[in-house]
A and B are shown apart, each in its own frame.
Chain A
Amino acid sequence: MEKALNRKQRMDFVEQWANYVRENKDWSSQQARLINSMLDNSKKSLLSKKEYLEIKNKV
């Protein structure tokens, strides 16, 4: 039940954001901040190549 509610909330947000992208020019600067900070954080990761690949292979 909680999982279904969570899924619906996520999908509602996807729809809301997609409509925002259609109607607003600033979507990509917001998205760039999100993606750039995610990639910056990943550079601080202490994972080795081997550890990273092990995690990916388990997913």
Chain B
Amino acid sequence: MIELINENTIKLSKEINDLDKFVFDFVDILKKHTNYIIISGFISILFGRSRGTEDVDILIPEVSKTEWTKINNELFKKFECLNCNTSEETYNYLADGLSVRFARKGEIIPNMELKFAKYDIDNLSLKDKIKVIIANHELFIGPIELQIVYKKKILKSDKDLEDAKHLEIVLKDQISQEKIKYYDALVKELWKKR
């Protein structure tokens, strides 16, 4: 069951799966230090899409090396980075606009693909984030209308179009058509500027 609490909060009743548990564990650490949003495929999966994923995309605002070291050190207690070994390396990757992948220690899948917000569209997503309440957990995701527009107008792969269609149907009562129009115009503009 999906319930719109207010413009920026959705309550979702669902059985929590192992991918959800992985995401909750990761963001429980992250949220102590920084804002974040989950974007892309996991949003469709969170709302019921009949597929899994190996990786979950997550954006955080750009932070200083000192701040990142604190975050990284705490993440390293439970997770390992698949593509870097040290805090310095992960920071350098992030600062270069690349992503770093964190999995539970000794595992590869699932993993969180974390990036600094780099483009205007990333920062817009962070600003307009949506809180999703699931039992006693909270997650922040990018705005659903923006996800739909981005998947339909920019990414356009079969998987993205299917994800967008799923969200459009499942969240028919929650989606704002005004926001769809707003993001549609904005995405076209911001995409050109990238």
Contacts and interface: CB of A to CB of B under 8 A. Distances in A.
Interface of A: 7, 10-11, 14-15, 17-19, 21-22, 25, 27-32, 34-36, 38-39, 42-43, 45, 47, 49, 52-53, 56
Contacts of A31: 14-15, 17, 45, 48-50
Interface of B: 1, 13-19, 45, 47-52, 54-55, 82-83, 101, 107-110, 158, 161-162, 165-166, 168-170, 172
Contacts of A45: 108-109
Contacts, number: 88
Contacts of A7: 158
Majority SS at the chain A contact face: helix
A10 to B, nearest CB: 6
B50 A49 contact: no
B167 to A, nearest CB: 8
A25 B170 contact: no
